[in-house]
Amino acid sequence: MSLGFSVYFGLDNTKEENMELLKRANTLGFTRIFTSLHIPEANYEVLKKEVKEFYSLARKFDMDIISDISPNTFKFLELEDMDIKGLRDLGVKTIRIDFGYTEEEIAKMSKNDFGVKIQLNASTITKEFFRRLDKFNPNYENVDALHNFYPRIGTGISEECMIEKNEILLDRGISPSAFVESSFRKRSPLKDGLPTLEDHRGVHIIKASNHLVALDNKSIFIGDSLPSLKELEDLASLREDAVKIDMKLKVELDEVSKRLLKETYSSRPDDARDAIRASESRLLLNGGVIKPLNTIERKAFYITIDNEDYKRYMGDLQILKRDLERDDRINVVGEVLQEDYYLLKYIRNGKKFYLNIVD
């Protein structure tokens, strides 16, 4: 998973704030930058002065600069239309095709020889669009996709829409990505946040990002103008391609069980009726022994680890989907926090997850 932030030259931030954001994000491992060069509210005289200096520093950091383009963008940058080399020389590594280009032109751009990737609008793609695009033999290895953000309240897409679009993309080997909002400085002029999912408006950046990981997005971008340092640090703390599940302990644990709860796991592809099972947990015992402890009645959303009385199943870690009777061979070690119940439906077919113990 890669992380990104957004910059809107000539809008909310000063040049110094944008440059400092770039430096901080780079230090924290962010590798992608979304930039928009056709915002109606932007001060274009300021924009022209700042773009090249910002791009120059980002290029030194080897950041992936994404610029959404239209025919007017090339004019603004004083380039010929579809001058991919000219964009590359400025530091742009990915161009996001939003509107103004035919499928034939998109396919042609995907086959450029300058190492510039093409990014589709993930929120608007359809199977019919790809049927038309296929006629021109695009280079799909050079294509990814980024969902829209939605400034107006009530216009963000639904989870169902994202799932549908992401499935279309992933079936073609195209990586989808999406936006979350910042609560620190929201982008003008509406300042109501720039999330992709309407469900994420007003939601903490970690919760929203974690949900996007669960929905198979491969990059997460902060949409708003100036995220706080804490928001950048929080987002950087997410483990790669794994869903974080918050939990609370139900008992004081032995050292072996503590260690198992700190690992990242893959859910088993043979999805059990009663529980989410961690594929790797029994392989991580490293000679440790788990004694019987808190073998109480098991309820849905409890987290359990099999003890030594379950023989070769010792160390089997599970998150329960339903209530089950007590079993002396099974230790109840914790419980998923209610606010994360909804995430469990995504933990299937090898999806990675990890547990985060909350006091």
3-state SS, one letter per residue, for the chain = CEEEEEECCCCCCCHHHHHHHHHHHHHCCCCEEEEECCCCCCCHHHHHHHHHHHHHHHHHCCCEEEEEECHHHHHHCCCCCCCHHHHHHHCEEEEEECCCCCHHHHHHHHCCCCCCEEEEECCCCCHHHHHHHHCCCCCHHHEEEECCCCCCCCCCECHHHHHHHHHHHHHCCCCEEEEECCCCCCCCCCCCCCCCEHHHCCCCHHHHHHHHHHCCCCEEEECCCCCCHHHHHHHHCCCCCEEEEEEEECCCCCHHHHHHHCCEEEECCCCCCCEEEECCHHHHCCCCCCCCCCCCCECCCEEEEECHHHHHHCCCEEEECCCECCCCCEEEEEEECHHHHHHHHHCCCCCEEEEEECC
Q: What's the token pair of residue 244? A: 């974080």
Domain boundaries, the chain: 2-238, 245-357
Predicted pLDDT at 39:
67
Domain 2-238: homologous superfamily in CATH: Aldolase class I (3.20.20.70)
Residue type, 24: R
Q: What is the pLDDT of residue 4?
A: 98
Euclidean distance between CA atoms 236 and 4, whole angstroms: 10
pLDDT of 68 reads: 87
How many residues would you count in the chain?
A: 359
Percent of the chain with pLDDT strictly greater than 70: 98
In sequence order, which residues have a C-beta less than 8 Å from that of residue 160 and are 6 or more positions away? Answer: none
Q: Give the pLDDT score at 49.
A: 76
Q: What is the pLDDT of residue 48?
A: 73
The residues that bridge with 222 in the sheet, in sequence order, are: 180
Report which of 11, 93, 95 is spatially closest to residue 58, judged by C-alpha positions.
93
At residue 25's C-alpha, the angle toward residues 21 and 30, to 5°, is: 140
Please provide residue 118's backbone torsions phi and psi, each rounded to the nearest 5 degrees.
-110, 135
Give 5-19 pLDDT, tens digit per residue: 999 988 899 999 999
Q: Which residues of the chain have pLDDT under 50?
A: none
**23, two tokens:** 């430096």
Q: Is it true that domain 245-357 has CATH number 2.60.40.420?
A: no
CA angle 338, 341, 346 (to 5 degrees): 165
Q: Which of 346, 265, 348 is nearest to 305 (CA)?
A: 265
